[in-house]
């Protein structure tokens, strides 16, 4: 089969022929239809310090996907050939304290599909049955391909109640934009999103935010004036990983405000912990999706009319992977997909 491979410990990827993956007793094999390009894939492509520490070539990368089941292992009972599935990319141990307690998203031994084991940037992929999410209702293939990052957005956006609340989202990447759409759908009073990219802020406007603020040209004080706010934001969602974003968020939270942090900083930075204490703020770290409560929430939200299609801006055939990666890295895009069906 054709697969996109990190062949060597160096920058670049190779589209090459590799053996079809073997199906274990508890595994399912899928014919991949669509995949989404993630920031993790960019790290592996460029072979930065993080990739060098975490990835052992050769590796088929990719963890955002949708596909059709073509084979099941002998012990598989809940998934059948012909099912349309998306994949949960966090492979958990099943034996640690949190796994045994049903808190699999907190597994201390989590491994990543497409990071620590061969992933889905290929014509066929294999994953454990417990990581397969079967779509029981009709879903657009492009949207199904991004259930992984949509899950990050849902997990973050629904970590705290947002009904009637003023919500601040820092970072208008695809996950931030989807979180804005979710907060609006879930009943937030005002949704404000910030970034320095006017292109991405325009995408955010398409999903119905009240204010998309370019913080290279304006400040959050402008949001107060435009939206007739006086006491700060009730719920914050930090998606950028930028120190200044979290610092500004803390400074503009209301007393008793709640912050969910998904953005991963590249370095340590100072935080005004005095404001955190005196305002009695709640800070919660978010990593991935709750398995599988978040997946249920995603499906229900889409059935109830949540529209995240505007965040998908580009689609390339897998043979055009270089252009797809270049487009993603340039940043003037939303979510970029690869189509793995034959032309």
Binding residues for NAD(+): 175, 195, 200, 262-264, 286-287
Which is catalytic among the residues 35, 43, 72, 170? 43
Round to whole Å and give the CA distance between 107 and 341. 34
Beta strands in the chain (DSSP E): 2-6, 14-17, 27-36, 59-60, 64-72, 84-87, 90-91, 111-112, 124-128, 132-134, 166-170, 190-195, 211-214, 233-238, 253-261, 282-285, 312-317, 335-339
Q: Which segments of 96-173 does DSSP mark as H helices, in order? A: 97-100, 141-144, 147-157
Contact 217, 195 (CB under 8 A): no
Would you list which residues are annotated within the binding site? 38, 63-64, 93, 96, 99, 107, 175, 195, 200, 262-264, 286-287
Instruction: Tell me whether residue 40 is one of the annotated catalytic residues.
Output: yes
Instruction: Tell me whether residue 43 is one of the annotated catalytic residues.
Output: yes
Would you list which residues are annotated within the binding site for Zn(2+)? 38, 63-64, 93, 96, 99, 107
If you write DSSP's letter for every residue of 225-283 in order, what string do you get?
Answer: HHHT--S-EEEEEE-S--HHHHHHHHHTEEEEEEEEE----SS-----HHHHHHTT-EE
Round to whole Å and give the CA distance between 33 and 339. 6
Which is catalytic among the residues 16, 35, 40, 317? 40
* Catalytic positions, written as ranges: 40, 43
């Amino acid at each position: 089969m054709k697969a996109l491979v990190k062949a060597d410990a160096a920058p670049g990827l190779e589209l090459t022929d590799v053996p079809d993956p073997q199906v274990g007793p508890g595994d399912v094999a899928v014919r991949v239809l669509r995949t989404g390009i993630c920031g993790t894939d960019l790290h592996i492509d460029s072979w930065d310090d993080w990739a060098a520490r975490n990835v052992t070539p050769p590796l088929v990368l990719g963890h955002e996907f949708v596909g059709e089941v073509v084979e099941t292992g002998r012990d598989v009972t809940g998934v059948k050939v012909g099912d349309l599935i998306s994949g949960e990319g966090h492979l958990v141990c099943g034996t640690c304290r949190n796994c045994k307690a049903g808190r699999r998203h907190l597994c201390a031994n989590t491994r990543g599909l497409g990071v620590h084991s061969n992933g889905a940037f290929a014509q066929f992929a294999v994953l454990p049955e417990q990581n397969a999410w079967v779509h029981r209702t009709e879903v657009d293939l492009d949207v199904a391909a991004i259930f992984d990052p949509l899950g990050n957005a849902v997990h973050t956006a629904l970590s705290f109640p947002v009904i009637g609340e003023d919500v601040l989202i820092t970072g208008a990447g695809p996950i931030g934009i989807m979180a804005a759409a979710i907060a609006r759908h879930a009943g937030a009073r005002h949704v404000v999103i910030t970034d320095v990219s006017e292109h991405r802020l325009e995408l955010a406007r398409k999903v119905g935010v009240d204010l998309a603020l370019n913080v290279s040209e304006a400040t959050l004080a402008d949001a107060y004036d435009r939206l007739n706010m006086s006491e700060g934001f009730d719920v914050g969602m930090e998606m950028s990983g930028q120190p200044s974003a979290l610092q500004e968020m803390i400074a503009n939270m209301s007393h008793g405000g709640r912050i969910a942090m998904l953005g991963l900083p590249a370095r340590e930075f100072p935080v005004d912990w005095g404001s955190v204490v005196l305002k009695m703020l709640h800070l919660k770290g978010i990593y991935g999706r709750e398995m599988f409560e978040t997946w249920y929430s995603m499906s229900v939200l889409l059935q109830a009319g949540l529209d995240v299609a505007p965040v998908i801006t580009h689609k390339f055939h897998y043979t055009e992977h270089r252009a797809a990666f270049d487009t993603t890295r340039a940043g003037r895009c939303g979510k970029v997909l690869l189509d793995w069906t034959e032309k």
